[in-house]
Structure 1
Amino acid sequence: MPANSKSQTITKRKLVHKGRTLPKHCPPTHPGEMLVEEFLKPTDVTQTVFALRLGVSFPRLNEIIRRKRSVTPDTALRLERVLGMPAEFWLGLQQDWDLWYAMRSDAAEEIKKLKPMGRAG
C-alpha cells in the first residue's frame, strides 16, 4: 500500500487521483500479495487452513492470492473478522489495484476524450 511521504523523491513517483495516492511506475500492492506476505507466510498458515478460517472455498482464496479475483465487501468483512484489519483497508487495496490498471487500459484513452458536463447554477 502506498505510504504518504514528505520526501520529494518518493512523492514524485506517485500519482494522486481524487485523493488517493497511487504509484506511477509500478502497480500498487494487490490485496492477495499483502495477505500472503504479511499474514500467511509469517504465521506459516496454509491457504487451505486459512480458507477454512475465513469460511470460503480454497479456490476463492487462491484466486484472490493469484490476482485472478477481486476482494469483495464480503471477503473484506471476513478478513477483518479473522485478521483484525479493517474491511476498508482490504477494499482500499483492491480499489488502488483496479484503478491503477484502469488508468492504463485501452479504454482510458477513450475516456480522456469524454467532455465533462457543466455544473448547474
Structure 2
Amino acid sequence: MARMIIHPGEHLADELKALGMSANEMAKELGVPTNRITEIIRGKRGISGDTALRLGRWFGTGPDIWMNLQKNYELRLAAQEIGDALQKIPVHKTKAKSDNDLRP
C-alpha cells in the first residue's frame, strides 16, 4: 500500500485548530496576506523560505521544521511521480570527500 503524502498545510491547519485561531488572525500576526496562509492550508501553495522563517518565529520552533515538512512532501511526491524509472538511473558515486570538495 502506498504511503499517504501529507502536505505541510495539513500540519499548519492542525496547529491553528489546536490554538483556536483563524488563518486571518495568523496572517496578521505574521505580516503576510491571508491568502498565503489559506492557500498553504488548502495544499495549493508550498511553504517558502520567507514563510518558514515567519512560522518558525511565530511558533518558537525555528524555520527548519517547516522547511523540512515542505522538502519531505516534495520528495515523496516526486518519488511517487517518477516511480520505477528512478531505479533505472545508474549510480555514479562522487569522489569528493566532503561537501566542501563539491564547492567551486
Same fold (TM over 0.5): yes
Q: Does residue 35 of structure 1 match 2:16?
A: no
SS at match of 1:104: helix
Gaps of 5+ in 2: 97-104
Distance apart, 1:108 and its partner CA: 3.9
Instruction: State the Cα deviation string for residues 27-73 of structure 1 (Å, max 9, x = none).
Output: 2x3221111112x1122211111111111111111111111111111
Aligned partner letter, 1:57: P
Aligned CA-pair RMSD:
2.2
Q: More strand per residue: 1 or 2?
A: 1
Instruction: State the Cα deviation string for residues 61-96 of structure 1 (Å, max 9, x = none).
Output: 111111111111111100011111221111111111
Aligned partner letter, 1:62: T
Q: Does residue 25 of structure 1 match 2:3?
A: yes
How far apart, in 2, do the equivalents of 1:35 and 1:120 lie? Answer: 41
How many residue pairs were aligned?
A: 96
Gaps of 5+ in 1: 1-12, 14-23
Counterpart of 2:33 in structure 1 is 57
How far apart, in 2, do the equivalents of 1:87 and 1:120 lie? Answer: 32
TM-score by length of 1: 0.68
Q: More helix per residue: 1 or 2?
A: 2
* Aligned with 2:70 (options 85, 94, 102): 94
